Amino acid sequence: MSALFSPIKLRGLTLKNRLVVSPMCQYSADDGVATDWHFAHINNLALSGAAMFCIEATHVEAIGRITAGCLGLYSDACEAALKQIMNSVRKHSSTAIAMQLAHAGRKGSSARPWDGGQLIPVSEGGWQTVAPSAVPHKEGEAAPLALDASGLKRIREAFVDSARRAMRIGIDAIELHGAHGYLMHQFLSPISNRRTDEYGGSLQNRMRFPLEVFDAVRAVVPHDKPVGMRVSSTDWVEGGWDLPQTIEFVKALKARGADWIDASSGGVSPLQKITLGPGYQVQFADAIKRETGLPTVAVGLITEAKHAEDIVASGKADMVALARAMLYDPRWGWHAAAELGGEVEAPPQYWRSQPSTQKQLFGKTTFGAR
């Protein structure tokens, strides 16, 4: 049996395979509200063959968005639009739907990637960003406002409110975004966190706010629904956040009931130096799993079915998440199952598409038509 196409259980959620569609920002929302693009995008990739699809970084307040086009779940309008999409997905797909809740912190108020991706000043239509400390992401940029006690409380409560909204629309699992230089990662990394109060300085202090957010979200998500976190395992900058600190953070998350760790890296500094290659971040998922025993998700330039199979079969990670490969091939899961001898679910309208050499691809052997 294919390891990639074997089941895994996360609390009350049983996934029929170990394949996940990564959360991928689409920069196509209207004041945080999902649009027709999201309707098409999510419904399409819910048929990829992956057992779980994770909705892109969904921001908990308007100033927490990366760009003006980023998705949110901070208003009734945001909730209603996503509910409509969820209703459509449920009609045609049994894929579990997760959501990544996020706050961009000092990396907010940015242009869309295809418009340059740089910080938009308030004077040019942007907004004032917030962060652990008044330290800009990039030299020459306007500094964010350092969050005070009331700001921290507001954001914790915003995560809770968005988690409750996610539960109301039927989301199966929550992933908190603690990676890629966004707000919770900003608290963790000494590069971006220069605070001298109980939220800065020591590792225990820098972990405090992300752990508070996790605790608050876990408390409002039903016990049978899993909550995980994406982390940047290293900043790829000397003196920054690194793997040993990540492992200590994950141990604290495990003690609080975390269900998985999505092991990514980088994003907190433009000075990062990364050597890219297929599966370059799998080492982090492997180390975190070995040191903590918590299920991990491997990500990062994984594009080939046999590579994904080896990652799971060798025990380096429990699941594999794909992003760009899924955009390029929205039926990647089908093709991987055909190659590895696995099965996927698909709507009956598509059953006749399976190759004659793969009779069991959809678990069906015959098709009748007059």
DSSP string across 1-14: --STTS-EEETTEE
How far CA 219 is from CA of 84, 196, 200, in Å, comes to 26, 29, 25
Burial 248-266 (b: 16+ CB within 10 A, else e): ebbbbbeeeebbbbbbbbb
Q: Which residue spans within 273-343 are E strands per DSSP?
A: 296-298, 319-322
Give yes or no for a contact between 296 and 288, defined as CB atoms under 8 angstroms apart: yes
Is position 328 annotated as part of the catalytic site? no
Tokens read off for 273? 């130096």
Catalytic residue among 27, 74, 182, 199: 182
In three-state form (DSSP H/G/I as H, E/B as E, the rest C), the secondary structure along 223-235 is CCCCEEEEEECCC
Which candidate, 181, 182, 188, 179, places its Cα nearest to that of 209? 188
Strand partners, 262: 230, 297
In whole angstroms, give the CA distance from residue 209 to residue 59: 17
Residue 155 identity (one-letter amino acid): I
In whole angstroms, give the CA distance from residue 299 to residue 262: 7
For CA atoms 134, 71, 95, 167, give the dihedral sign. positive
Collapsing DSSP to helix, strand or coil, 276 comes out as: coil
Residue 217 identity (one-letter amino acid): V
In whole angstroms, give the CA distance from residue 227 to residue 221: 8
In whole angstroms, give the CA distance from residue 250 to residue 256: 10
Give yes or no for a contact between 305 and 335, defined as CB atoms under 8 angstroms apart: yes
Residues with catalytic function: 182
